Structure 1
Amino acid sequence: MINFRKLIFLPALSLMMALSYTASADLVVLQYHHVDDSTPPATSTSRSLFKAQVQMITDLGLDVVPLETATRQTLSGDAPATNQIAITFDDAYESVYSVAAPILDKQKTPYTIFVNTNSVGAKGYMDWAELKELSGKEWVTIANHSADHAHLARKPGEPEAAWHTRTNRSLDLAQTALEKHLGTAEPLFAYPYGEYDEALEQKVNDRGWLGFGQQSGSIGRYSHNTRLPRFPMANAYGQLSSLKDKLLSKAFPMDASSLPDGVISNNPPSLTLKLEAPLSASRLTCFASGLGRIDFSVTGDTVTVQAPKALDARRFRYNCTHPAGDGSYYWLSQQWLNLDAPED
């Protein structure tokens, strides 16, 4: 469990790399929204690209597995010899039913659909009959994406009691609706917009759910159960030229429970990494959202990553990679949330 009280007082991240760490296979979770050629570009994967992505997974000999069982297996340190892949869809858009599902169902390929239940039946979304049909297939999982797809992190100035009321309602109404309409209540949750703070993580943890974000990276034995990474697969991020590196990526060898809350107090925020063998600063590469590759400072075995200027986005990330051997990379994505920026 995350030491939430301790995290409150951490001004920056200090990651201790275990000398005994041995690279192993991990779970790579892919995140989709629309799968179509006519839906909003920022959240869409074209039909042809989706088919090509699925084919690359096959060509690499990687197994696509059910999300919950594979995640729990990986967190327990009982992962198989090679990376596994899990496929997820957020929002239950109609194109998932009409385009993606028929492709995956041919081979009974496991996938998970995270549903924001208030939108079911609205224009562009699946209805309950379609979700019921898919949920009847043993390889399909339907799970919670909140009732209203609201920004669930506590807003500046929001009374704590009001925040508890609205977030509990959104989490629990969705779970109740899924159970009522589909007879399912999976212990899985995908944060709307990928946004979370430590208090929201605590609610997910208290319910016994696994919590999935939208920061990139793979899941390993030292990942944390309420801040699990997924690789976005929209057109801008899912191109085949970089997909292989993502599919074969390794979780950064660190205790992810040491990651900071992510809600920033200073902009740009700083991220401090203490590197131990086999990691070295000379082989580390870091990026910031919208800025590309960024420099970092090194003091002894400690690296401090900080963007060269403030970022005005509501959500942004620092991504760091390091060679892991056999052509694969350790991958760390730290998500930051700027609550002063407008909601989208």
Structure 2
Amino acid sequence: MFFSFSSKSDENNIKFYSEDNGILSIMYHRFNEHKYPSTNINMEVFKKHLEIVKNSKYNFLNPNEFDSKFKTSKSEKEVLITIDDAFESFYNEAWPYLRDNKIPFILFVSTEPVGNKGYMTWDQIREIDAVDFSLIGHHSHSHEYLIEETEENFILDIETANKIFKQELNYIPSLFSYPFGEYSKFMRDYISQNFEYAFGQHSGVIDLNKNKFELPRFPINEKYGELKRFKSIINYYPLEYKSLSPSEKQLTINDNPPNFKVEFFKEQKNLSNITCYSNEGDQWDKSKTNLSNQILTIEFREPFKPRRGRINCSLNDNGKWRWFGVQFPIKKN
């Protein structure tokens, strides 16, 4: 069966240099589940993260205001807390602290595991949904590697979750989070027709020129939640751009490495200070970049290896550090 969708993913883009100070989104999963270090954060470290945000004089963004805040240039950066997967440890460990301190967040829920061992129940999810500083997001039904499914099965997974959300919460969440941060152009275009915004797992800071259905987040875990690194992340600002290609983020043998190009705005300064790192060949190294007429290209050393290729670019803009990242799921041969 063939499905075709016209994408709404570029309809929001203002396409002028906005000097937006942005929304910095941070992603967590488990709390005090130390046997899962790649998705876990120590609760005491999590509390210190929140204190760092407060001491940096940044406000936490209430996700119920995300739409209006996204569409305007922010004079002050705000921080958005997101939690993926609705693990029971979030409810037992982090939720009481967030509740008592009224710190806003999004909880992205995959519907299939709800109520299973190690996961929250629908009663617990409804408890969180009832407060005015939280928002429930859509994280698919199965949380499988949906990029490997057929287009029909991908749509079935989303529609199955929709029915369950409607049954349990009486509505379908309008914000989506791609499982594992992976998506193809088909997936993104489908999501753009059925949701208001969608988040990946590539690093960067949200500004009003970013694609509404490819929003970046900084993933945090035991390794990448170290306090010195977190303090650096919190002080990043958007590195705005006019366009980024390729539009298709899933790479095949025929387009790996990709023809990577980023077009910046003519008003942007200090672009010669951009430094990029990429992990082609499964080896992180400084990228060979070229900047000409506000367009950045990268000459890759070799193809990216499965499962994911990544590029991270930063810019010292007169002492203000700007950042964006890209993730490429690699299709197996």
Give 1:150 deviation, angstroms.
Answer: 2.0
Instruction: Tell me the residue number matched to 1:322.
Output: 315
**Which of 239, 248, 272 does residue 226 from structure 2 map onto?**
239
The aligned runs of 1:69-218 (5 Å cut-off) are: 69-70=65-66, 72-79=67-74, 81-153=75-147, 155=149, 158=150, 163-164=151-152, 166-218=153-205
- Letter matched to residue 23 of structure 2: L
**Contact 1:287/1:320 (8 A) holds in 2:** yes
Query: Where does the alignment leave 5 or more consecutive residues of structure 1 unmatched?
Result: 8-17
Matched, 1:336 2:325: no
**Contact 2:236/2:322 (8 A) holds in 1:** yes
Instruction: Tell me the residue number matched to 1:305.
Output: 298
Give 1:22 deviation, angstroms.
Answer: 4.6
The structure, 1 or 2, with the larger RCO (C-alpha pairs under 8 Å, 6+ apart) is 1
**Structure 1 residues 281, 134: closer, same or farther in 2, change over 3 A?**
closer
Please state whether the residue corresponding to 1:287 is helix, strand or coil: strand
**Which of 44, 47, 50 does residue 43 from structure 2 map onto?**
47
How many pairs are equivalent?
A: 319
Please state whether the residue corresponding to 1:189 is helix, strand or coil: strand
Give the TM-score, by structure 1 length: 0.84
Distance 1:279 1:324 in 2: 7
- Letter matched to residue 29 of structure 1: S
**Contact 1:74/1:220 (8 A) holds in 2:** no
Distance 2:6 2:164 in 1: 32
Give 1:281 deviation, angstroms.
Answer: 5.3
Please state whether the residue corresponding to 2:106 is helix, strand or coil: strand
RMSD: 2.6
Give 1:306 deviation, angstroms.
Answer: 4.0
Cα deviation 1:145-168 (Å, max 9, x = unaligned): 00111222255xx5xxxx22x122
Please state whether the residue corresponding to 1:153 is helix, strand or coil: helix
Give the TM-score, by structure 2 length: 0.87
Distance 2:251 2:316 in 1: 29
- Per mean C-alpha deviation after superposition, the further-off stretch among 197-206 and 30-39 is 30-39
**Structure 1 residues 52, 256: closer, same or farther in 2, change over 3 A?**
farther
**Structure 1 residues 66, 193: closer, same or farther in 2, change over 3 A?**
same
Cα deviation 1:249-288 (Å, max 9, x = unaligned): 2222213575521111333334223454534454111112
- State, as a whole percentage, how many aligned pairs show the same letter: 24
Cα deviation 1:128-179 (Å, max 9, x = unaligned): 1211222222212112100111222255xx5xxxx22x12221122122122
**Contact 1:74/1:219 (8 A) holds in 2:** no
Cα deviation 1:176-206 (Å, max 9, x = unaligned): 2122212342201100111111111111111
Query: Where does the alignment leave 5 or more consecutive residues of structure 2 unmatched?
Result: none
Please state whether the residue corresponding to 2:159 is helix, strand or coil: helix
Distance 1:76 1:295 in 2: 32
Instruction: Tell me the residue number matched to 1:29.
Output: 25
- Per mean C-alpha deviation after superposition, the further-off stretch among 61-70 and 95-104 is 61-70
Please state whether the residue corresponding to 2:38 is helix, strand or coil: helix
- Letter matched to residue 61 of structure 2: V
